[in-house]
């Protein structure tokens, strides 16, 4: 369990993510963040709900006290995204809570930005010779997408960031394709932001709610980037 101070936040937000090898849950209440995380790629469905119950208990909250649920919407593992969205749906339906999807790439970028990064290239290994990737800059301390999130071959990545300044790299895409670290002269790998974590979704969720991006659970919208037909051709694919 991690307990962290944060700026005063008007909403109590529950966040959860299982879209990669990492499984995590976090809640912010009265400006304090409670979070749990585990690397458990094949145990997400068993681990997530106990984590949710634990962080809520640490915050002395019940589910009905939460204002909105933020969920990892992808991209990432097809199975992991399905688990995250289905558990979010179950939690939100019971209490009629609004939901907001947060990009896994943005959550990783937010982690790097919280550690001082100004420009971030986030990349998740998508298998089949491809990566999910997105470029972000820090705007008022928040990860802000440049252009759009993409799935492509590593060699197809074209940066729109300022290559004369440091760019921070994060994600499993750089483990799978270390040559990506040579895209620009100054590329720094942030190992601490290798996976998305729910606690880094909270500020993005608050900002998204402020901008009116939360929805009812019926409009919950996972993002796979890759066509699901492709996944169906890969029996047993995580």
CATH number at residue 136: 3.30.420.40
The whole-angstrom separation of Cα 1 and Cα 71 is 19
Structurally, how many domains does the chain consist of? 2
| Cis, peptide link before residue 75, omega less than 30° from 0 | yes
Q: Which residues contact 2 (CB under 8 A, 6 or more apart)?
A: 33, 34, 35, 36, 37, 199
Rounded Cα–Cα distance for residues 11 and 66 (Å): 8
Q: How far apart are CA 72 and CA 137, in angstroms?
A: 20
Token pair 């990669």 is at which residue?
20
Q: Are 43 and 119 members of one domain?
A: no
203 shares its domain with 181: no
Q: Are residues 15 and 37 in the same domain?
A: yes
Q: With beta carbons less than 8 A apart as the criterion, state whether 237 and 231 touch.
A: yes
CB 131, CB 124: distance < 8 Å: yes
- Dmax (CA) for the chain in angstroms is 51
**In this structure, is residue 238 part of a structural domain?**
no
User: At CA 133, angle to CA 132 and CA 139, rounded to 5?
Assistant: 145
Closest of 213, 238, 233 to residue 68, by C-alpha: 213
Residue 86 belongs to a domain: yes
Q: What pLDDT digit, counting tens, does each position of 149-165 carry? A: 999 999 999 999 999 99
Residue 90 counted as domain residue? yes
Mean pLDDT across the chain: 92
- What the block records as the tokens of 90 is 């179950």
Within this chain, do residues 66 and 99 fall inside the same structural domain, yes or no?
Answer: yes
| Same domain membership, residue 226 and residue 176 | no
**143 within some domain:** yes
Q: What whole-number distance in Å separates Cα of residue 112 and Cα of residue 133?
A: 15
User: What CA–CA distance (Å, rounded) separates 200 from 214?
Assistant: 17
Local structure of 125: helix, strand or coil: strand
Per-residue pLDDT of the chain (238 residues; tens, 9 = 90+): 544 444 434 799 999 999 999 999 999 999 999 999 999 888 999 999 999 999 999 999 999 999 999 999 999 999 999 999 999 999 999 899 999 999 999 999 999 999 999 999 999 999 999 999 999 999 999 999 999 999 999 999 999 999 999 999 999 999 999 999 999 999 999 999 999 999 999 999 999 999 999 999 999 999 999 864 343 333 343 4
Q: Does a structural domain hold residue 62?
A: yes
């Amino acid at each position: 369990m991690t307990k962290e101070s944060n700026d005063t936040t008007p909403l109590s937000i529950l966040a959860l993510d299982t879209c990669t090898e990492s499984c995590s849950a976090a809640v912010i209440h009265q400006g304090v963040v409670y979070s749990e995380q585990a690397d458990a790629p094949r145990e997400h469905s068993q681990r997530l709900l106990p984590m949710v119950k634990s962080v809520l208990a640490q915050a002395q909250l019940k589910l009905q006290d939460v204002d909105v649920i933020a969920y990892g919407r992808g991209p990432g593992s097809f199975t992991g995204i399905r688990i995250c969205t289905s558990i979010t749906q179950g939690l939100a339906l019971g209490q009629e809570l609004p939901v907001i999807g947060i990009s896994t790439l943005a959550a990783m970028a937010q982690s790097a930005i919280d550690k001082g990064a100004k420009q971030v290239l986030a990349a998740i290994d998508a298998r089949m010779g491809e990566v999910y990737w997105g470029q972000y800059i820090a705007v008022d301390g928040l990860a802000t997408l440049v252009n759009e999130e993409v799935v492509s071959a590593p060699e197809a990545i074209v940066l729109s960031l300022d290559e004369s300044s440091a760019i921070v790299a994060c994600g499993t895409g750089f483990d799978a394709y270390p040559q990506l670290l040579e895209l620009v002269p100054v590329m720094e790998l942030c190992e601490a932001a290798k996976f998305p974590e729910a606690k880094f979704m909270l500020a993005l969720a608050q900002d998204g709610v402020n901008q009116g991006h939360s929805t009812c659970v019926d409009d919950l919208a996972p993002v796979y980037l890759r066509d699901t037909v492709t996944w169906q051709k890969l029996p047993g694919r995580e």
